[in-house]
């Protein structure tokens, strides 16, 4: 079996540059086409929700202090779990224009707190941009009452409304790049494996090294199609 080092690999890949380029192009085109024509489209949108530890932000005369914000940040973590709970989802489903199970709805919603703030971000991903916004706004509408009933503390206020979702999947440019990389790696792997499995002797030096005998002479090739007058040992 042949031995490999960095220099040998570099020369080997350079000698097969055409093959590498072909595989790279094939991989990029293949995965790009699969992403564009076969992968389902997904749309995402979101709405921000402000969390306060005060019972009623609008009517309360209390100033919002640093301790209030710390408490609100803690509530964000609690609310995050409640909003993805079955109780909340069961109240969201009747508000939607399309019949959907709470289990399916749970997989479409992501709730996350924005670090070091009292704000939650509700993000919805669906197969329709309008329906994604509809779900998002329904969750934001249900959230205040559900959180009050379940947690019994604080309040939430939606910051605006979710807009029509933007397409997030499939990401054709990204898939094309991944396809190109996959094709390149595959081609390089094939070239290296072929080299390692090749037991033929190609040079006088290799013959001396393998058999440890002197080379008395070489016979020129009789293949007139060969270029450069190559010789076979």
- The answer to whether 107 touches 20, Cβ cutoff 8 Å, is no
Along the 233 residues of the chain, how does pLDDT read in single tens digits? 566 788 888 999 999 999 999 999 999 999 999 999 999 999 999 999 888 765 444 444 444 444 555 566 677 777 888 888 888 899 999 999 999 999 999 999 998 888 777 788 999 999 999 999 999 999 999 988 888 777 766 677 888 899 999 999 999 999 999 999 999 999 999 999 988 887 777 677 766 766 777 776 777 766 555 555 544 44
- Distance CA(183)–CA(10), nearest Å, equals 18
Closest CA to 82 of 158, 162, 139, 159: 139
What is the separation of C-alpha 181 from the centre of its chain, rounded to a whole number of angstroms?
A: 15
Predicted confidence at residue 58, as pLDDT, reads: 43
Question: Rounded distance, CA 144 to CA 151, Å?
Answer: 10
d(CA 178, CA 176): 5
User: By CB neighbour count within 10 A (0-12 exposed, 13-18 middle, 19+ buried), where does 181 fall?
Assistant: middle
Nearest to 139 by CA among 111, 179, 170: 111
pTM attached to this predicted model: 0.67
Task: Determine the 3-state secondary structure of 37 from DSSP.
Answer: helix
By CB atoms closer than 10 A (0-12, 13-18, 19+), residue 12 is middle
The answer to whether 142 touches 47, Cβ cutoff 8 Å, is no
Length of the chain: 233
Residue 117 sits at φ, ψ, to 5 deg, of: -135, 170
CA dist 188 and 51 (Å) reads 54
E strand or H helix that includes residue 142: helix 129-151
Kindly state the tokens that stand for 143: 């959230």
Distance between CA atoms of residues 86 and 11, nearest Å: 61
Residue whose entry in the numeric block shows the structure tokens 């919603």: 109
pLDDT value at position 53? Answer: 65
């Amino acid at each position: 079996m042949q031995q490999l080092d960095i220099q040998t690999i570099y020369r080997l890949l350079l000698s097969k540059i055409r093959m590498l380029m072909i595989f790279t192009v094939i991989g990029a085109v293949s995965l790009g086409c699969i992403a564009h024509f076969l992968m389902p489209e997904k749309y995402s949108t979101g709405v921000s929700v402000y969390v306060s530890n005060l019972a009623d932000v609008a009517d309360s005369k209390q100033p919002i202090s640093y301790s209030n914000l710390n408490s609100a940040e803690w509530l964000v973590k609690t609310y995050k779990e409640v909003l993805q709970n079955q109780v909340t989802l069961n109240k969201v489903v009747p508000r939607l224009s399309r019949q959907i199970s709470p289990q399916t709805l749970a997989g479409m919603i992501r709730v996350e707190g924005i670090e070091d703030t009292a704000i939650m971000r509700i993000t919805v991903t669906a197969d329709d941009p309008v329906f994604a916004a509809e779900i998002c706004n329904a969750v934001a509408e249900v959230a205040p009452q559900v959180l009050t009933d379940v947690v019994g503390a604080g309040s939430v206020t939606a910051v605006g409304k979710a807009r029509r979702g933007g397409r997030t999947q499939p990401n054709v440019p990204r898939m094309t790049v991944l396809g190109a990389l996959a094709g390149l790696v595959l081609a390089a792997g094939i070239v290296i494996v072929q080299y390692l499995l090749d037991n033929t002797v190609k040079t006088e030096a290799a013959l001396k090294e393998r058999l440890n005998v002197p080379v008395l002479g070489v016979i020129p090739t009789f293949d007139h199609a060969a270029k450069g007058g190559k010789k076979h040992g």
